[in-house]
Structure formats: structure tokens, C-alpha cells
Amino acid sequence: MTDRPVAIVTGGTRGIGLAIAQKLASDGFDVAVNGRRPEADITDSLESIRANGARALYLRADVSDLDGHALLLDTIREHFGRLDCLVNNAGVAPESRLPLTETTPESFDRVMSINLRGPFFLTQACANWMLEQRETRQSGPLSIINVSSVSATVVSTNRGEYCLSKAGVAMATQLFAADLAGRGIGVYEVRPGVIRTDMTSGVTEKYDKLFAQGLTVEPRWGEPIDVARAVATLARGELTYAAGQVLTIDGGLSLTRL
């Protein structure tokens, strides 16, 4: 068993997930990174994690495939012997932005399966293992951190299925926090705003203008490292007596202003 705490970061090969994996590595974690691309395509990402002194393991899997969750955890057991932190970061936007009156069942099911159903049951599996560990290992924080979105509460009528999935993640955080906090596992939500990633690359011009017009209190794009710092603070156990809390990393986008 490794002496370093171990985290799994889903969707951890690029964007916010990679920044989280890199930050956790620099903070003393070994990291299991989950993604869907072939390992040969993410070599640079893995090396950037290892450059921070961590052991990095790649777990190629689709989080929406519930039958694959057991293999993910078995592989982590084999390589590291422990799990201290789950970061549910993997998520997708609708392939086509459509009005609510045109949203398709296929798009709804795809987004919900990846963004909500998969993370819910992966959380269940990881929590059960963490509870087993807590019986024999009393020291060190155990945490489950859900990366959601301001879309959990901010309406976008051309991607309703995405908003609903993130609202579900927010409630799942509250449910698991209520169930697990008294048993030694911290459950939290990190809620990013507009972050510069592949997912937002197609709307760069739109948001450049909105930032210039005062969309946020802090007049800039959010960066993946902004989210990673919040996740790492929670994973290190530095935010105490805060079960189920939401860290909103949105530059003040969601502040109510006159």
C-alpha cells in the first residue's frame, strides 16, 4: 500500500480534470485518472501529473458504464491499495443545443447517464470501500467531491438536459453528505462558472464580450486551476465542519446585483 493518499479523478485527462489531477499530485496525492481516450493519446497528460512527484495510473472507462465500476476500483486496489478521494469531474454537454421544445430523449438520456447516473453509482461504490477503510485506518481525510456547474441553478433553455443533470449532482451531494459525514467521509460540491476549456472553446467570442460587459465581478475567464485549487483544499481536509458545502468558483457570476 502506498503511504501517499490516493485520488481518482474522472474525466481527468484534459481541462478542469487534468488541472485537478496535477494539483492533487503536487499536494502529495497519487492519482488514478479516468478517461475514454486510448492511453497512447494522453501520454503527455500522465507525464504532467508524474512531473509533480506522483504515481499516475490511467483507467480507461466510460463512467456511464456501471458494470465497469468494479473493475476501476479493483485496479486501484491492485496498484495503490487504498482510496482517499473521489473527484466526480467527468461530464458532457449536449451534442446539439436545442430549445426545450425540441430536446430529444436520446440527448437527455446521454447527458443524464454520464453526468448524473454514472457519478451517483461510482460514488456509491467508492463510499462503500472508503467505509471499509475507515474501520481499519482512522487517520487522514476521506472525501468525495462533485464538480458540477453554475448551471445547477442558472437556466440555459437551449441545454436543459445539462442544467437538470447538474441540479441532480447538487442534490446527490447533499444526500451523500447527510449519509456519510457522520461516518467519516466528507462530501462536497465545487460549482464552476465559465471556465476556459474545450467545452467552452466554441463560445469564446460570446463570453469575451460578456466579460467586458460585466458578466462577472472578476472580469476574466475562469481557468481550470481556479477549480483545481478549490478541489485540492477539500481533498486535503482543510475545510472542516462543512459537510455538504458548495464552493462556487465563478468570479461572482452568480452574485445578485442591482
Catalytic residues: 162
DSSP of 117-179, one letter per residue? IHHHHHHHHHHHHHHHHHHH--SS-EEEEEE--GGGTS--TT-HHHHHHHHHHHHHHHHHHHH
Asked if residue 21 lies in contact with residue 9, where contact means CB atoms within 8 angstroms, the answer is yes
Short-list 37, 77, 74, CA closest to 58: 37
Question: 16: closest CA among 235, 230, 242?
Answer: 230
CB-neighbour burial class of residue 138 (10 A; exposed 0-12, middle 13-18, buried 19+): exposed
Backbone angles phi, psi at 28, to 5 degrees: 105, 5
